[in-house]
């Protein structure tokens, strides 16, 4: 890539099929930056406005978690030798500093939640006792609703203690006016045989199972819903070949987040995740008609969420903002004579990837658009996927738009470069 790097003049990205300028709706917004800095900045606009907040903070494991980046066509076709392992985040903290930071985050969370909102905090045995006491103090013991146990069968087998096969999810309400709809997550009872029960059909043709006790008949209809308890043992971990896999360690299954999102928010509500990671919460919110806010300080979370969310966008607008000091030199703006490299086709400019990079094999995502103010507005893009492992080498850009033409290129090493038309 070119080396004539200028000072950063792009502070975020916007993707919009309608190319609208309306900022009244949230749609989807991802903030790349330090969580405390971002939460402080969110307060003026979103205090008391967020319906549901889910958090999957570090578990205090002491481990290094990775992002597995597939490289080129062969990597995206499944060649395990064509994978680069990046550090997504390091789960090592000073104990006092960790809990002090979490307390600050929860204080912001309380203020950001709507009066009928809810908080779910996903943790495990290492911190559950400490976090619960902290949340009791901030939200009030009377607003603690459940300790949900997510039980799974995957993982190792311990010989010196009982195997640890569950996570804890602490569920709090903001107030007694909280919204919760169990009907959205119930499933039909079904036709499976039940011990000591008799199968029958009533006068309306509905199948039911019955049992008599103390002279009374109790009926359980096949089409009645059954509801989850506080032990969730029906949602497995993601196996290695699951199509949901993004390559991001600690990724949670969409089924887990869907149960939470459907039960504690309505279509059009705002759902937030302040440790966005692989973007599961954001993807589930988006796919179920909720607006979302994501926050993370990992460069590979930013890249993973962009890849995951843009193709399935059903909102008018998705934005990614780089909070001050968050780029660590990995987001670069290069002034370039792009107009010298354009060809035209009817109402479109045609841009070629080969005009900007020597080796397309190291490119994972590229797009074209315009810069307005300090925001890159992406209008066309190409990225590698298992179904489409090769990049489009040319992209069309509508010549009717106004702004500085810009090309965005993200390589397999996590470096993101914007080639922006030189100012005249």
Segment 61-97, tens digit of pLDDT: 778 888 899 998 888 888 888 888 888 878 788 888 8
Domain for residue 88, yes or no? yes
**pLDDT of amino acid 107:** 98
Give the helix/strand (H/E) hosting 102: helix 95-112
For the ranges 71-85, 156-170, 280-294, 322-336, the maximum mean pLDDT occurs at 280-294
Q: Out of 145-159, 288-302, 348-362, which region has the weakest mean confidence (pLDDT)?
A: 145-159
**Co-location of 267 and 306 in the same domain:** yes
Distance CA 350, CA 336 (A): 16
Q: Would you say residue 249 has pLDDT above 60?
A: yes
**Co-location of 154 and 167 in the same domain:** yes
CA distances in angstroms from 129 to 99, 132, 150, 151, listed in the order given: 12, 5, 16, 18
**Co-location of 162 and 244 in the same domain:** yes
Q: Can you tell me which residue has the tokens 């010298």? A: 340
**Co-location of 209 and 282 in the same domain:** no
- Averaged pLDDT, 25-45: 91
**Co-location of 275 and 167 in the same domain:** yes
* Residue closest to 292 by CA, chosen among 30, 21, 18, 39: 30
Domain for residue 15, yes or no? no
Q: Confirm if 99 and 120 have CB atoms less than 8 A apart.
A: no
Instruction: Read off the pLDDT band of 5 (50, 70, 90).
Output: very low
Domain for residue 129, yes or no? yes
**Co-location of 349 and 381 in the same domain:** yes
Q: Confirm if 381 and 366 have CB atoms less than 8 A apart.
A: yes
Q: Final residue of a domain: which of 315, 346, 364?
A: 315
Encoding tokens for residue 197?
């029960």
Distance CA 102, CA 108 (A): 10
Domain for residue 74, yes or no? yes
**Co-location of 245 and 150 in the same domain:** yes
Domain for residue 300, yes or no? yes
Q: Out of 21-30, 386-395, 406-415, which region has the weakest mean confidence (pLDDT)?
A: 21-30
Helix (H, G, I), strand (E, B) or coil at 232: strand
**pLDDT of amino acid 347:** 79
**Co-location of 242 and 335 in the same domain:** no
**pLDDT of amino acid 26:** 56
**Co-location of 216 and 134 in the same domain:** no
* β strands within 140-226, DSSP E: 144-151, 166-173, 187-188, 198-201, 207-213, 216-221, 225-226
Distance CA 270, CA 5 (A): 38
Domain for residue 266, yes or no? yes
CATH number (domain holding residue 270): 3.40.50.150
**Co-location of 247 and 357 in the same domain:** no
Percentage of the chain lying above the pLDDT 70 cut: 92
CATH number (domain holding residue 367): 2.60.40
Structural domain range at position 125 = 26-182+229-315
Q: Final residue of a domain: which of 289, 315, 341?
A: 315
Domain for residue 4, yes or no? no
pLDDT digits (tens, 9 = 90+) for 343-359: 887 778 999 999 999 98
**Co-location of 57 and 117 in the same domain:** yes
Pairing assessment for the beta strands 375-383 and 363-372 based on DSSP bridges: antiparallel
Q: What is the DSSP string of 247-311?
A: SBTTPPPHHHHHHHHHHH--TT-EEEESS-TT-HHHHHHHHTT-EEEEEE--HHHHHHHHHHHST
Total of domains in the chain: 3
**Co-location of 286 and 337 in the same domain:** no
């Amino acid at each position: 890539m070119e080396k004539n790097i200028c000072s950063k003049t792009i502070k975020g990205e916007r993707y919009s099929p309608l190319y609208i300028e309306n900022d009244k709706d949230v749609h989807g917004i991802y903030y790349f930056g330090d969580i405390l800095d971002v939460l402080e900045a969110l307060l003026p606009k979103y205090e008391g406005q967020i319906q549901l907040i889910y958090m999957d903070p570090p578990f205090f494991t002491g481990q290094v978690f990775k992002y597995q980046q597939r490289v080129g066509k062969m990597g995206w076709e499944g060649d395990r030798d064509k994978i680069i392992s990046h550090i997504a985040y390091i789960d090592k903290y000073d104990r006092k500093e960790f809990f002090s930071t979490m307390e600050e985050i929860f204080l912001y969370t309380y203020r950001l939640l709507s009066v009928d909102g809810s908080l779910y905090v996903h943790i495990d045995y290492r911190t559950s006792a400490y976090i619960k006491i902290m949340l009791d103090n901030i939200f009030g013991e009377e607003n603690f609703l459940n300790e949900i146990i997510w039980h799974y069968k995957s993982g190792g087998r311990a010989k010196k203690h009982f195997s640890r096969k569950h996570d804890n999810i602490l569920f709090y309400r903001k107030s007694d006016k909280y919204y919760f709809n169990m009907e959205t997550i119930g499933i039909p009872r079904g036709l499976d045989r039940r011990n000591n029960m008799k199968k029958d059909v009533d006068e309306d043709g509905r199948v039911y199972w019955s049992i008599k006790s103390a002279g009374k008949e109790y009926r359980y209809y096949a089409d009645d819903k059954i509801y989850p308890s506080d032990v969730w043992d029906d949602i497995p971990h993601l196996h290695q070949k699951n199509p949901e896999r993004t390559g991001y360690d600690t990724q949670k299954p969409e089924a887990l987040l869907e149960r939470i999102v459907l039960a504690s928010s309505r279509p059009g509500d705002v759902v937030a995740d302040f440790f966005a990671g692989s973007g599961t919460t954001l993807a589930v919110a988006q796919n179920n008609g909720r607006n979302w806010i994501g926050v993370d300080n990992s460069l590979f979370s930013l890249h993973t969420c962009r890849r995951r969310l843009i193709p399935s966008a059903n909102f008018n607008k998705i934005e990614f903002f780089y909070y001050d000091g968050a780029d660590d030199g990995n987001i670069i703006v290069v002034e370039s004579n792009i107009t010298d490299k354009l060809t035209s086709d009817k109402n479109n400019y045609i841009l070629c990837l080969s005009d900007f990079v020597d080796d397309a094999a190291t490119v994972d995502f590229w797009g074209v658009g315009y810069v307005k103010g300090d925001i890159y507005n992406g209008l066309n893009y190409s990225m590698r996927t298992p179904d489409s492992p090769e990049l489009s080498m040319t992209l069309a850009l509508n010549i009717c738009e106004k702004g500085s033409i810009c090309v965005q290129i993200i390589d397999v090493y996590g470096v993101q470069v914007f080639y922006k038309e030189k100012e005249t």
